[in-house]
Amino acid sequence: MNEDKEVRENIIEGRNPVLEALKKKRTIEQILITKGDKEGVIRVIIAQAKENKIPVKEVDKRKLDAMSQTKAHQGVIAITSDYKYCQVEDILEYAEGKGEKPLIIILDEIEDPHNFGAIIRTAEVLGAHGIIIPNRRNVGITPIVSKGSAGAIEWIKIAKVTNINREIDSLKENGVWVYGADMEGESYSFQEDYTRGTAIVIGSEGHGISKLTKEKCDKIIKIPMTGHISSLNASVALGMLLYETAVQRMKNENSFS
């Protein structure tokens, strides 16, 4: 796989990701499907594309195999415009429009596209309003990320920023409490209040949260662990933290007023 192919962001692979992009009315230039495959979800994709006036072309499976970055295209690839990242202000406005306190995920140099895809899926399912990633040293929205998110990238806002630490300062000024997740945290995750405006910082797979970013956080929290393994996958850790957040917010009627 060459470098250009690895960073390409204008294709979506897989049946569910393509279908979710159609439902969200993402700008799609063309959909390619394997010749002769018009059953099940593919039939739904064709019908939805026709309704949205998007051309569908049948091609040899080898063409899709050559284009595919996930190696799991499931017989369908959509060619799109480049993914449009939003601004952090858009995330805050989205939360306000829903009458909810902001719940934002901040990623500090997540480089594994499979992990990022799982994080997006987890964040969307458990009610996060948006995700903030840095311009550099963090994977963007690639086909592998899209496939791993199972289409969740179409339903959650993602902002790409130049300076994570500057954005943390800005969030604090907007009344958002910033938690850093680290196994050396000063308190357990279940001891905190997530019904207020909340941002959760998740660090990189190998190094965790950078020293300066950790210093910017209002508090460093940890997940209680009793096993022999001392760390969790980033998407799993986020899922546990967001579950706690969702439970607290569902119990607190004021957070949805």
DSSP assignment string, 157-201: EEEEES-HHHHHHHHHHTT-EEEEE-TT-SEEGGGS--SSSEEEE
Q: What pLDDT was estimated at residue 1?
A: 36
Residues 109, 204, single domain; the answer is: yes
Q: What pLDDT was estimated at residue 30?
A: 92
Q: What pLDDT was estimated at residue 8?
A: 56
Structure-block tokens of residue 125: 């399912």
Q: Which residue matches tokens 């997540």?
A: 110
Q: For residue 200, what is the domain's CATH number? A: 3.40.1280.10
Residues 110, 70, single domain; the answer is: no
Q: What pLDDT was estimated at residue 256?
A: 45
Last residue of a domain, one of 29, 62, 80: 80
Q: What pLDDT was estimated at residue 24?
A: 84
Residues 109, 175, single domain; the answer is: yes
Last residue of a domain, one of 17, 47, 80: 80
Q: Where are the alpha helices (DSSP H) in 31-189?
A: 41-51, 61-67, 88-97, 113-125, 143-148, 164-173
- 34's CB contacts (< 8 A; 6+ apart) are 58, 59, 60, 61, 64, 75, 76
Residues 92, 148, single domain; the answer is: yes
Residues 251, 133, single domain; the answer is: yes
Average pLDDT, the chain: 89
The boundaries of the domain holding residue 147 are: 88-256
**Residues 156, 128: Cα–Cα separation, whole Å:** 8
Residues 73, 110, single domain; the answer is: no
**Residues 247, 240: Cα–Cα separation, whole Å:** 11
- 114's CB contacts (< 8 A; 6+ apart) are 144, 148
pLDDT in tens, 1-54: 334 444 456 889 999 999 988 988 888 889 999 988 778 899 999 999 999 889
Last residue of a domain, one of 80, 104, 131: 80
Residues 8, 134, single domain; the answer is: no
Is the confidence at residue 105, as pLDDT, over 90? Answer: yes
The domain total for the chain is: 2
Q: What mean pLDDT do residues 79-104 have?
A: 93
Residues 238, 140, single domain; the answer is: yes
pLDDT in tens, 152-198: 998 999 999 999 999 999 999 999 999 999 988 889 999 999 999 99
Q: Do you know the residue count of the chain?
A: 257
Q: What mean pLDDT do residues 202-231 have?
A: 87
Q: Which residue matches tokens 């009344």?
A: 175
- Say which residue, 84 or 230, is predicted with more confidence: 84
| 118 in Cβ contact with 146 (< 8 Å) | no
Burial of residue 140 (CB within 10 Å: 0-12, 13-18, 19+) is middle
Residues 71, 148, single domain; the answer is: no
Structure-block tokens of residue 231: 């760390």
Nearest residue to 110 (alpha-carbon basis) of 132, 138, 82, 133: 138
Among the ranges given (69-73, 120-124, 186-190), the one the predictor scored with the smallest mean pLDDT: 69-73
DSSP letter, residue 255? G
Helix axes 113-125, 234-251, angle to 10 degrees: 10
Nearest residue to 143 (alpha-carbon basis) of 59, 61, 80, 49: 80
Residues 126, 75, single domain; the answer is: no
Residues 184, 236, single domain; the answer is: yes
Residues 113, 212, single domain; the answer is: yes
Q: For residue 44, what is the domain's CATH number? A: 3.30.1330.30
